[in-house]
Structure 1
Amino acid sequence: MRKSRWVLAASTAVVCLTSCTNAPPPPLVTTEVAQTAPTRPVNPGEAVVGVDSVAGGLNPHKLSDQSMVTTALAQAMLPSVFRTGPDGTPQLDQTLMLSAQVTNTEPYTVTYRLRPEASWSDAAPIAAEDFVYLWERLRDEPGVIDGMGYRLISNISAREAGRVVEVTFAKPYPGWRSLFSSLLPAHLVKDSPGGWANVLADNYPVTGGPFSLRLLDRVRGEVILERNDRYWDPPAALDRIVLRRGDLNGITGALRTAHNQLALTALGAQGVTQVAGLGASVTHKTVPRPSVATVLLRPVSPAMADVRVRSAIAAIIDRGALVKAGTGGGPQSALTANAQVLAPGAAGYAATGPNTGPDPALAERLLTEAGYLKTAGTWTSTNAVLNLVIAVPADRPAYAAMAAELRKQLTAAGITVKVVSPPGAELFTTLPAAATAKDPVDLLIAPLPVSQDPATALATRFGCASTSDDAPGPIAANPVGFCDPTIQATIDSAVTGEVPLASALAALEPVLWNRALTLPLYQEADDLIVRTDMTGVTAGPPLAGPFAGAATWRRAAK
């Protein structure tokens, strides 16, 4: 009873003090959480990666599907015979393979031996049928990456229940180690509705790597990878990895609050400044992608068939301005490309093209020689106005920005321009046949892939395709729409190893520049920003990227 009376008296005293005086009431005490602190419990088994976009298909073998996310998922979920080593050379992936070696030179034969425990996540073995499927698709389908190497294969046979695969080539092929990367589960995708066009369009049916795809939500902008419990090698350290789309402010803010543990995003100059503001809590590296942003001047187009017209267009173009438009002045601008085949990040890269600015006088002279006359500020011929169509793949803001800049440059020079942005799958599968369409593609701004084997890249980018006996001759089989039998022998010699690649490039690079076929701009790259509470995250081997080592990523508990 005494205690209750004391509490009542004390309470009354407090009321009197606060209500019977002129003093303001004491401030309310709040428990606001600082904005720089995490607002959710730390999950050491999860890492969230901030990314620019999750749009587009996921097939790593299609030109239209090239993206950071596509490369990342392929590294985490698809098996490969060889993977890029730290020095940039192919190394046998002993997770999948027991051996792979040339076992005969006549005919040229490579024998692959797979580990007996290697299997897809539905327990189907990774075997010969997966090799056959990739060969048949990349040999025959349009718009694929490095199809030329697969076209050299004449036969694939198997034994020991498909665990031993013998691949026979029509010609010697020193670049064979670049084949059979990112194998696909043939038993599930060979009968996909819609065929090759829909393979990995929106999902992975199974996985053959340390992670599996749990969720792909393009509306929310989220991809969730979970540890593959059926993986036969040591399991991934993390339970799951989340790729989460965000803008610059969202990504840097999430890194600051530890809602994101890392980011893989293409920064402009403003983004570099914002990341620098994160201070010592993060590390920052530039990671080149296996692609080079390029302007293709397509001779298969009627308006661009004359080399003088193509050369005039090349003389008008300010490549530096296009690079600035595509990179926003960020780290990618330091990877300016000035060679027809090798990328800036490749071993042996050296500039081979002219490092000069626009030359309006040269452009006017060449157009005049080609039969055009500038009337009222517009170039016309006896047939029609010089009207060009520029195509860029849809859903790629950097390429849309470069197309706008190119349109401005050509319009200022007196050339009528139309820009089209079809879906990438449609654009790349119709090249070079798009020249006969209602709106033929005269110029294309697109990422051209960087191959592990530069000789294969040379042949894929500029080589001719063989035809049947009743065809009139070789045809173009590349997005450029170019085929020249007079240089094909040199290309073939580089692919078969008869001529060293350096010698072939020394002979061909000046020819390709003079033909005004492609204007390389810059090697695409991402910025890898990693919080210090993550370990094991590196830039990865050349062209492979950080997700090549995702199985070893770890996150501190605090």
Structure 2
Amino acid sequence: MARRTIAVLALTVVLAAAACTPAPRLVETPVTSPVTDQVDTREVVVGVSSVAGGYNPHQITDQSAITTALANLVLPSVFRSGPDGIPRLDRTVMSSATVTSYDPYTVTYRIRSDASWSDTAPVAAEDFVYLWQQVTDSPGAIDAAGYRLISDINARDAGKVVEVVFAQPYPGWRSLFTNLLPAHLLKDAPGGWDGALQTNFPATAGPYAVKALDTDRGEIVLERSDRYWEEPPVLDRIVLRRADQSGIVDALDAGHDQLALARMDAVGVDLVGELSPAVPTRTVPRPSVSTLVIRPDRPQLTELLVRQAIVALLDRDQLVTAGTGTGPAAALRADAQVLAPSLPGYRSTVPTAAGTATPARHDPALAEQLLTQAGYTRASSGWVRDGQPLDIVVGAAEEREPARRIAEDVRRQLVAAGIATEVLTLPADELYGQLSDTGGNTGDANTLDLAVISQPVGGDQATTLATNFGCAASGEDGQRSAANPLGFCDPAIQPTMDAALSGALSVTDALAAVEPILWRAAVSVPLFQEAETLAVRPEVSNVSLGPPLVGPFAGATAWRRAAG
């Protein structure tokens, strides 16, 4: 603006003097500023679909690609999955971990003396104790069945030697104590376990630390941790930046994002495939299966015939399409209750007998037969019994768009079949609070009849089976009660699951016995394994899919970026 003002004044003077002086020779000198096009090769920006919290990797509520990524980079683990999916001791944290006694069954862990949190507190036995106690007491915790087998934890050598005593043999013990949390900061934190890591990490113990976490702006900045005791990562910073599908494609095209790990439908994958230079894409299966839960503890759904009728009314092909948008996850259709499609040993366990209500067969005629047997009649207003209509409430987490789409399609299908249905979207913590019989913040527990959830899978298979479908002892009388979001507990199959946990029965034999019973119970309708699309621009190297169900961030310390 100053230059324009000077130019106008100068021109005015020239014009005023023009009548008595010769016109001066005007020479136009362009004004230039130095232009730099330097690339920060120490930073990589990753486009993601969401950065929303919480970030507790042990809570079903918080499961997401972001939670998994952050846990890999900022939290310590005793074991981590190798490229073949087999747990391997993480020697950046541990010196050793071995079974040191069989009576009682005891595992002794030795933590490296230099392993510490970012506030200089040591990684120690109290972190093991805190995780054990919280997971055991939380109805919404992942792999809780394994932690429930622990009877005591003892510490030696200033907490750097940890002796974990189990009530019975537990071959799956290597699946425990991943993603340790800073007990010294969290045990007395406001909000307790449910509030832990809701908005940030109070301390970290990994190659990266959280420099900034802004959910409003949709950005998380990770910086190389100065307090990390092992070899530092190659990159100084990793930035996770939220955008919708089209925004991520545009950012990849312009080079503003060098990577993307995002939820994409078929259109998004095709758009990335059209970019030039080429940006390869790969599918990254997640450790979760999108599942429709049919609660057997709800008054209208206690009867098996009614639950089976609902299963027969649903067209699962349509639900899968609604949830995946025919994107990469559509190829990961789930036809088993425990194993996910991407895992070794997976096969379909869906019953095929005629006249059986299974998700593999959309059978409205069978559904009508089952409802009639249950005492319902079809009236102009829908299905009615004893003057009361059959009406259903379907829940979905408001933060998870695929779950909302599935819930709406469930409503559409059931309404078309004569069942009054309402969709209720809740924050994830409230949704899982209701499913876990904690009441969440709604003040009215167990109002949901059906729900679309992300069912955890992977890890030790016997532990997954017992956690997702098993019972837990309630009270000193030894009575069993549901300890899972399904609200399901079958004491008849609990001994089979317990035997698999202890190694007395192979997981293969346990699944062969239990899977048909779970299908017949009509409490869980698996749909598809959730997945993200990984896209990598050519200037970034050393990015792989990562270990099964862990993902590419497991190898982020080796990522490199060229100036390209």
Q: Is the 8 A contact 1:434 1:440 kept in 2?
A: no
CA offsets per residue over residues 119-177 of structure 1, 9 Å max, x none? 11111110100000000000012211111111100000010111110000001111100
Cα distance in 1 for partners of 2:469, 2:515 equals 11
Q: For residue 540 of structure 2, what is the aligned residue in structure 1? A: 534
Task: Tell whether 2:541 aligns with 1:515.
Answer: no
Q: Is the 8 A contact 1:142 1:428 kept in 2?
A: no
Q: For residue 22 of structure 1, what is the aligned residue in structure 2? A: none
Letter in 2 for 1:410: L
Pairwise CA distance, 1:418: 1.2
Q: Which of 432, 439, 443 is 1:428 aligned to?
A: 432
Q: For residue 73 of structure 2, what is the aligned residue in structure 1? A: 76
Pairwise CA distance, 1:484: 1.1
Q: Label 1:369 to 1:235 Cα distance change in 2 as closer, same or farther (>3 A).
A: same
Task: Tell whether 2:360 aligns with 1:356.
Answer: yes
Pairwise CA distance, 1:249: 1.8
CA offsets per residue over residues 86-120 of structure 1, 9 Å max, x none? 00111111111111111111111000011111111
CA offsets per residue over residues 184-209 of structure 1, 9 Å max, x none? 01011111111111100001111110
Pairwise CA distance, 1:270: 0.7
1:250-399 to structure 2, matched below 5 A, reads: 250-354=247-351, 356-376=360-380, 378-399=382-403
CA offsets per residue over residues 439-482 of structure 1, 9 Å max, x none? 621111110011310111110111111122346x2111111111
Q: Is the 8 A contact 2:437 2:445 kept in 1?
A: no
Q: For residue 495 of structure 2, what is the aligned residue in structure 1? A: 489
Q: For residue 404 of structure 1, what is the aligned residue in structure 2? A: 408
Cα distance in 2 for partners of 1:498, 1:505 equals 14
Task: Tell whether 2:143 aligns with 1:146.
Answer: yes
SS at match of 1:495: helix
Cα distance in 2 for partners of 1:206, 1:434 equals 28
Q: For residue 58 of structure 1, what is the aligned residue in structure 2? A: 55
SS at match of 1:342: coil
Q: Which of 99, 107, 111 is 1:114 aligned to?
A: 111
Q: Is the 8 A contact 2:281 2:535 kept in 1?
A: yes
User: How many residues align structurally?
Assistant: 531
Q: Is the 8 A contact 1:390 1:403 kept in 2?
A: yes
CA offsets per residue over residues 209-248 of structure 1, 9 Å max, x none? 0000011111110000000011011001111000001112
Task: Tell whether 2:462 aligns with 1:455.
Answer: yes
Q: For residue 555 of structure 1, what is the aligned residue in structure 2? A: 561
After TM superposition, the score normalised by the length of structure 1 is 0.92
Q: For residue 19 of structure 1, what is the aligned residue in structure 2? A: none
Pairwise CA distance, 1:432: 4.1
Could you tell me the percent identity over the aligned residues?
Answer: 54
Q: For residue 498 of structure 1, what is the aligned residue in structure 2? A: 504
SS at match of 1:433: coil
Q: Is the 8 A contact 2:298 2:446 kept in 1?
A: no
SS at match of 1:474: strand
Pairwise CA distance, 1:41: 3.4
Letter in 1 for 2:239: V
Q: For residue 20 of structure 1, what is the aligned residue in structure 2? A: none
Q: Is the 8 A contact 2:391 2:420 kept in 1?
A: yes
Task: Tell whether 2:215 aligns with 1:218.
Answer: yes
Cα distance in 2 for partners of 1:362, 1:391 equals 25
Cα distance in 1 for partners of 2:492, 2:26 equals 104
Letter in 1 for 2:274: G
Q: CA RMSD in A?
A: 2.2
Q: Is the 8 A contact 2:316 2:360 kept in 1?
A: no
Q: Is the 8 A contact 1:431 1:481 kept in 2?
A: yes
After TM superposition, the score normalised by the length of structure 2 is 0.91
Letter in 2 for 1:66: Q
Task: Tell whether 2:200 aligns with 1:203.
Answer: yes
Letter in 2 for 1:476: A
Cα distance in 1 for partners of 2:206, 2:26 equals 71
Pairwise CA distance, 1:424: 1.2
CA offsets per residue over residues 382-439 of structure 1, 9 Å max, x none? 0510011111112111111111111000000000111111211122133242799476
Q: For residue 416 of structure 1, what is the aligned residue in structure 2? A: 420
Cα distance in 2 for partners of 1:439, 1:151 equals 24
Q: Label 1:13 to 1:476 Cα distance change in 2 as closer, same or farther (>3 A).
A: closer
SS at match of 1:158: strand
CA offsets per residue over residues 341-393 of structure 1, 9 Å max, x none? 00001110001014733100000000000111100150010051001111111
Task: Tell whether 2:122 aligns with 1:125.
Answer: yes
Q: For residue 18 of structure 2, what is the aligned residue in structure 1? A: none
Q: Is the 8 A contact 2:397 2:428 kept in 1?
A: yes
Letter in 2 for 1:235: P
Q: Label 1:170 to 1:438 Cα distance change in 2 as closer, same or farther (>3 A).
A: closer
Q: Which of 172, 176, 182 is 1:185 aligned to?
A: 182
Cα distance in 2 for partners of 1:408, 1:430 equals 23
Cα distance in 2 for partners of 1:311, 1:39 equals 66
Q: Is the 8 A contact 1:301 1:442 kept in 2?
A: yes
**Unmatched runs of 5 consecutive residues or more in structure 1:** 1-8, 16-28, 32-37
Cα distance in 2 for partners of 1:360, 1:536 equals 51
**Unmatched runs of 5 consecutive residues or more in structure 2:** 1-21, 352-358
Letter in 1 for 2:243: G
Q: For residue 442 of structure 1, what is the aligned residue in structure 2? A: 449
SS at match of 1:388: strand
Cα distance in 2 for partners of 1:106, 1:13 equals 99
Q: Label 1:359 to 1:43 Cα distance change in 2 as closer, same or farther (>3 A).
A: same
Cα distance in 1 for partners of 2:445, 2:76 equals 41
SS at match of 2:190: coil
